[in-house]
Structure 1
């Protein structure tokens, strides 16, 4: 499984009644495909997977797979707070027809590195027909996918890559150098994407691609053909809005960005609260400046 290009970490739109809006989700997917994305990652952090019921997760998986068909790579999040729960999530994801999974350390349990290796081994032994993309996002899980974990699976044929969301360029350097023949590196830290690609990232699992996929895909095309100055200029124009997202209320800002683009994504589910009038005004100014 090749990790290439721009893969939006899909939001989950909600209608006015608070239910998942599958029609809006389908429209977002078409919009992003027309912009040139390579695939999608449903049920990630940006998709508020933690706030969905199991029935809603299955419905989202079905909608995404039906809408995309064979037009892009699909990598589904299937996470939980313990190994048992993660196995349950993986089973329903596999039953929905997905074979590529994005798996972070179990949150709240705070496993050691040895325990995390055991966690991933159980998954690989239980499901022999899936590919794993490791997901390092310590700000969410309080556990890092450390280099001992990367060492443990560096020769495993079904552990194909890592989404690095630590924000650490040094991690990207180390992975890009030491593990370049073992893992495909996917950028998960939007404001340092240019740096990640310089150090060997081949893809970008990108929440902001929900609301400005054309610019993000333009960055990738320029970088891929060796136009590093052009790619850097795209990132320079996007940096203020991405930095704003990264500094807080990320999901709400991505959803508001989708609203500014013409969609109806709805609010994030509680405990997250909508942006205030002042926050919207400030973000809108930055967002509109990025479109110039």
Structure 2
């Protein structure tokens, strides 16, 4: 399966009672579609899957599946701390109609690479889905090694890796080493244009929750060969992207949605609110994006 274009790593909107706000969710998805996204990635870390009950995760997956058009890519986040739970979440996603899942290493346990290989093999054996690996060692405490990717390079159901280490050299290595086997997917938002140059044709993008048009314009400009325009857009995006990477990522994404006129509520605990200074910094960084 070939992945292409900008796919938002979706936030999960909450209302004043801290329940999922599906009205706000529909407005958000409609806005994304108008901007030109190519698919949907619900129940990832940006979607606060860690704070959702199993029933809520099911409801989010079903809502997004019902909204999606047939030509839009669907990738479900099915992470959990233990292999058993990952299999349960992945089977749930498959039942609803997701053929692709996004899987980082299980958090907290810090599995070895041999244990992680066994983890992914077990999921593949138990549920008939394609896997997009997710490398974000700063968050998960565990890396996805080249040796692990070597192990799965010839498995047609391991279709790509969302690379969020922030290390461009690693992205170059993945692109060169697994060309035609494991697709490089941009996950380091502040160097997204560099990823495109090194072969990433798709971008699973948290910042597109509130900068969807600019992110899609960047992708379209690069693919059209308009490199100077792509550089100009990336320059406008850079400061906001960089602020997001400095901490409180999900809170800032949700505040960005509010600034764009599509409020999605606050984050669930333990994630707390932004300070006034943090809000002001993000608001100022968004001005060049709005001026595009």
**TM-score (normalizing by structure 2):** 0.98
Aligned equivalents of 1:25, 1:65: Cα separation in 2: 13
Aligned equivalents of 2:108, 2:248: Cα separation in 1: 21
Aligned equivalents of 1:278, 1:142: Cα separation in 2: 29
Aligned equivalents of 2:274, 2:280: Cα separation in 1: 9
Cα offset for 1:227?
A: 1.3
Cα offset for 1:188?
A: 0.6
Secondary structure of 1:211's match? Answer: helix
Residue 290 of structure 2 is matched in structure 1 by 291
Q: Is the 8 A contact 1:185 1:200 kept in 2?
A: yes
Residue 80 of structure 1 is matched in structure 2 by 80
Q: Is the 8 A contact 2:136 2:163 kept in 1?
A: yes
Aligned equivalents of 1:92, 1:220: Cα separation in 2: 32
Secondary structure of 1:243's match? Answer: helix
Aligned equivalents of 1:279, 1:161: Cα separation in 2: 34
Residue 195 of structure 2 is matched in structure 1 by 196
Q: Is 1:152 matched up with 2:151?
A: yes
Q: CA RMSD in A?
A: 0.9
Residue 69 of structure 1 is matched in structure 2 by 69
| 5+ long unaligned stretches in structure 2 | none
| 5+ long unaligned stretches in structure 1 | none
Q: Is the 8 A contact 1:29 1:68 kept in 2?
A: no
Cα offset for 1:228?
A: 1.5
CA displacement 1:119-151 (0-9 Å, x = unmatched): 111011111x21111111111111111001100
Q: Is 1:268 matched up with 2:241?
A: no
Aligned equivalents of 2:282, 2:162: Cα separation in 1: 27
Secondary structure of 1:212's match? Answer: helix
Matched length: 291
Aligned equivalents of 1:267, 1:45: Cα separation in 2: 15
Cα offset for 1:206?
A: 0.3
Cα offset for 1:282?
A: 2.1
Residue 30 of structure 2 is matched in structure 1 by 30
Residue 223 of structure 1 is matched in structure 2 by 222
Aligned equivalents of 2:289, 2:174: Cα separation in 1: 31
Cα offset for 1:71?
A: 4.2
Aligned equivalents of 2:212, 2:118: Cα separation in 1: 37
Structure 1 residue ranges (4+ consecutive) displaced by more than 2 angstroms after TM superposition: none
Aligned equivalents of 2:49, 2:179: Cα separation in 1: 30
Q: Is the 8 A contact 2:171 2:195 kept in 1?
A: yes
Aligned equivalents of 1:89, 1:164: Cα separation in 2: 22
Q: Is the 8 A contact 2:152 2:158 kept in 1?
A: yes
